Amino acid sequence: MRADRLVAVLLLMQARGRVTAAELAEELEVSLATARRDLEALSAAGVPVYPQPGRGGGWSLLGGARTDLSGLTANEAQALFLLAGPAAAVAPEVRSALRKLVRALPQTFRADAEAAADAVVIDPARWGARDDGERPELVRILQDATVRRRKVGLVYEDRTRERTHRLVDPWGLVDKDEVWYLVAGTERGQRTFRVDRIIEAEVTELAFERPAGFELSEAWGQVVAEVERHRSLLSATVLIAERFLPVLRDHFGRHCQVEGPAADGRAKVRVAAPNALMIAQQLAGWGALVEVVEPASVRAELVRIGTELVARNSP
């Protein structure tokens, strides 16, 4: 994982004072080109590393070898931790590396670096539609408020298009399959907001403190568990040719589990959704490619949908 390597590169430079791309490639078991790209990525992120040409050259932290990272400014440390922090949610070794790095930072801005490291979580597992747009500018604004611990005034539009005004404590951001969510504290407790439903966001100068012991990755795990519980209230057993399994998996995401082969050679699969109608709606387009074994409620919904389609579209 690249973020893990970037932290490792910085720790090696701190320990050795000067390293070459070849030494990094050997130490991290990557190609020479990858090591060079990692060094350039650190420099582009604002971390004060620079190359020294000629015999005995290499890459160094600004100021040379030292036992701490006092060459980093507060903004530079935040840039590094924002770069590596998201990976910590899915790679425990990255979180461990970040904690070691925090201890090497000057005391004056350790808190800001820790806040940046836990400001964003990456959750690659999809639910619903995928948003292939670029990272919204609003994400950068909310991320900055999260790191600086500043309350944000939101104009939020819910799924019914009703707009409300809220003052929230931005505890962290989550990128779930390129759809962004804000986990925030409100007067009614923890709430989750889709960033693409935020109409306006104004960062205030009102400070807030995160709850003691709050971990963004754990909080997001609880959100996911609750959403998935509601999304999988009913399951159905279906039969489908094995060659179509990848498409069915993409259709239902984590709510698709293969149980094994059926007697006729097709695959036996369990799919889930909040109710029978929603399962039937997702399966109706498959036509005869899918056979629903049970429950009867899903079969009944498919019959009803098919009857409506025939009545509406027959010449």
Question: What is the C-alpha separation between 71 and 50, in angstroms, rounded?
Answer: 12
Q: What is the pLDDT of residues 29-88, one digit of tens each?
A: 888 888 888 888 777 666 677 777 766 678 887 654 343 444 555 555 555 555 555 555
User: Are 110 and 130 within one domain?
Assistant: no
Q: Do 113 and 127 fall into the same domain?
A: no
**Interval 9-38: pLDDT, tens:** 777 777 667 788 888 888 778 888 888 888
Range of the domain at 62: 2-117
Better-predicted residue by pLDDT, 50 or 169 = 169
| 298 and 212, same domain (yes or no) | no
DSSP 12-81: HHHHHSEE-HHHHHHHHT--HHHHHHHHHHHHHTT--EEEE-STT-EEEETT-S-SS-TTS-HHHHHHHH
User: Same domain, yes or no, for 137 and 220?
Assistant: yes
Work out the mean pLDDT of the chain and round it to a whole number: 78
Q: Are 177 and 217 in contact (CB under 8 A)?
A: no
Q: Which two tokens stand for residue 221?
A: 């795990």
pLDDT in tens, 265-312: 999 999 988 889 999 999 999 999 999 999 999 999 999 999 999 999
* Structure confidence at residue 15 (pLDDT): 65
Assess whether 238 and 201 both reside in one domain: no
Helix, strand, or coil here: 214?
Answer: coil
- Read off the pLDDT of residues 133-152 as tens digits, 9 standing for 90 and up: 455 789 889 988 887 889 99
> Are residues 142 and 211 both part of a single domain?
yes
